[in-house]
Structure 1
Amino acid sequence: MAPSTPPLQVTVLGAGAVGCFYGGMLARAGHRVTLVGRPAHVDAVRREGLRMETRMFDEQVRLQGVIRAADAPPADVVLFCVKSMDTEGAGRELRATLRPDTLVLCLQNGVDNADRLRTVLPEHEVAAAVVYVATEMAGPGHLRHHGRGELVIEPARTADRVAQAFAAAGVPTEVSPDVRSALWFKLVLNSAYNAISAIAQKPYGECVPAPGIRQVMRDVVDECLAVAAAEGIRLPADPHAAVDKLVASMPSQLSSTAQDLARGKPTEIDFLNGHVVRRGEALGVPTPANRVLWALVKLVEQRGPTPA
């Protein structure tokens, strides 16, 4: 289908599961999308398109793929989807490819990526986005979508146009001035689920019913709320209720942290439970449950990939 307004030129930097879902949805709606990813993934996309196996459709979506950001055409918007630990490095790599009016939209886990990216892209517009989607890469060029897909975008000069493009492409999108609270709200959800799923190597629906897990999750959430309050953050809804409901909407989802551990890749745990621990230390708020989960994930990281 063709977009109702002139198509956007979109670059997806860090074409993993999140970037492929949102980039693929825009490409499917007629926007010009280029994925920047690893060679095997890019080769598969060039040959056959991106397979989007979603809850609504299963299609091969045609888009472009390149290995280096410098090889992507000048973009109206960059979907910045690299891992949190790579934010500054990827931002410096991206800097020379940006037009003055390009919007860089951070679709990353954690609460401070947009601020960190602004330090290396001071002359460009950077906006944070809160991502609510359950996805995984089932193989090179193959995205599997398990549920949801909403976006909340920070106000920016072209944010309304980008939000309209996403909405027309089937992605519920809101532009909100209170993105910081929304990012913290998502951090609470991630802190409750990601490490537990990672340590167990099980999806949410198998973790939550296990003995003692619900109480551990409540302890994690309570610590996150105490740190958020000390930071002056007012959360937009009841995190305990949201945590309880999430498993029903994503029972088959394996957390991104679990997927990283299974592949022997570094995780983003330092920017999830680890962030809560660091801010708790700085603010004098105890965070023992978050510290245990953070430390255990760091320990498992040292083991390497899970044997097949």
Structure 2
Amino acid sequence: MKIAVMGAGAVGCYYGGMLARAGHDVVLIGRAQHVEAINRDGLRFTKYDVEERIELAASTEASASQDAKLVLFCVKSTDTERAAAELQRHLLADAVLLTLQNGVDNADRLRARLPHEIAAAVVYVATEMAGPGHVRHHGRGELVIEPFPSAAEIAQTLIDAGIPTEISDNVRGALWAKLILNCAYNAMSAIAQLPYGELVKCEGVNEVMRDVVAECVAVAQADGVTVPGDIDAAVRRIAETMPNQYSSTAQDVARRKRSEIDHLNGYVTRRGEARGIATPANRVLHTLVKAIEFGQPA
């Protein structure tokens, strides 16, 4: 299968690398610094402290997605519409797009712009770009995808590549569960520039997390969303299972890049306003991250 990865950052390079290792024809579409390194040296892939080089194609142009049967859509939520416009004229009519993004509404935003089969996925993986063309895996790696006509085939392709994949009828709820985890950790990790394990040791952090989670759950319920599992236990488990991980928002802030905070705590704040639910903890975290971004030189 030819597979294109639109947005070859940490998530895109990890899943693209796993699929290429399994023998698929994978092309990574990303920024010049990563593309140049990958085309020159292969993808530097560090997993469980074992490093290898994976040979695969890389391009800065969306046209590289031509002939791809599957597109892993991994751009930042802030870039969803732009990336959709770039892909539109190059995609096969029967191409499937799987959104591997933070936030809960990216698949709907894509469906408003592309006539293709589009399915949402929930991503549970800790990765980072450790340098140009170098992805480092810190833990986990499973996906939860929503049902669609070829879901079973795509899921099996992912499973065969070593990517645990589940098809769920409640992906909306799972996306909200992931959003709540992100809202609890991302902004505070960014503000403090601390990994999760150190962050939760700080005075008052766990209490703020509880406030954030309670607001998120109230908004989700008002939106008719059933959030699966024990969300409080899931929040605690993040620091236990990924103690050395910095949030993606923390990584963006450290690199002076625009973060996805508008689609995390900012999204909850907007939905709360629409539903008449106060979200002061989420509002403060959203505002503080925006203030940090505003104060950084370009």
TM-score by length of 1: 0.95
* Alpha-carbon distance in 2 for matches of 1:56, 1:175: 30
Q: Deviations over 1:227-256 (max 9, x none)?
A: 011111111111111001111110000000
Name the structure 1 match of 2:267.
275
Could you tell me which runs of 5 or more consecutive residues in structure 1 were left unpaired when the two chains were aligned.
1-7
Within a 5 Å distance, the mapping from 1:283-294 to structure 2 comes to: 283-294=275-286
Candidates 172, 195, 212, aligned match of 1:203: 195
**After the TM superposition, which parts of structure 1 deviate over 6 Å for at least 4 consecutive aligned residues?**
none
Candidates 1, 24, 35, aligned match of 2:28: 35
The yes-or-no answer on 1:24 pairing with 2:6 is no
8 Å Cα contact 1:127/1:156 also seen in 2: yes
The residue type paired with residue 164 of structure 1 is Q
The yes-or-no answer on 1:161 pairing with 2:153 is yes
8 Å Cα contact 1:197/1:203 also seen in 2: yes
Deviation at 1:14, TM superposition (A): 0.5
Deviation at 1:57, TM superposition (A): 3.3
8 Å Cα contact 1:265/1:305 also seen in 2: no
The yes-or-no answer on 1:11 pairing with 2:4 is yes
Candidates 150, 157, 178, aligned match of 2:142: 150
* Alpha-carbon distance in 1 for matches of 2:294, 2:50: 38
Deviation at 1:72, TM superposition (A): 3.6
* Alpha-carbon distance in 1 for matches of 2:130, 2:166: 29
Alignment RMSD, CA only?
1.2
Aligned sequence identity (%): 60
Candidates 223, 230, 235, aligned match of 2:227: 235
8 Å Cα contact 1:66/1:72 also seen in 2: no
Name the structure 2 match of 1:264.
256
Name the structure 1 match of 2:165.
173
Could you tell me which runs of 5 or more consecutive residues in structure 2 were left unpaired when the two chains were aligned.
none
Name the structure 2 match of 1:81.
74
Q: Deviations over 1:14-73 (max 9, x none)?
A: 100000000100001111100001111111101111111112732111110011011344
The residue type paired with residue 119 of structure 1 is A
Name the structure 1 match of 2:97.
104
The residue type paired with residue 297 of structure 1 is V
* Alpha-carbon distance in 2 for matches of 1:57, 1:157: 37
Deviation at 1:171, TM superposition (A): 0.9
The residue type paired with residue 33 of structure 1 is V
Within a 5 Å distance, the mapping from 1:64-75 to structure 2 comes to: 64-75=57-68
Matched residues, number: 298
TM-score by length of 2: 0.98
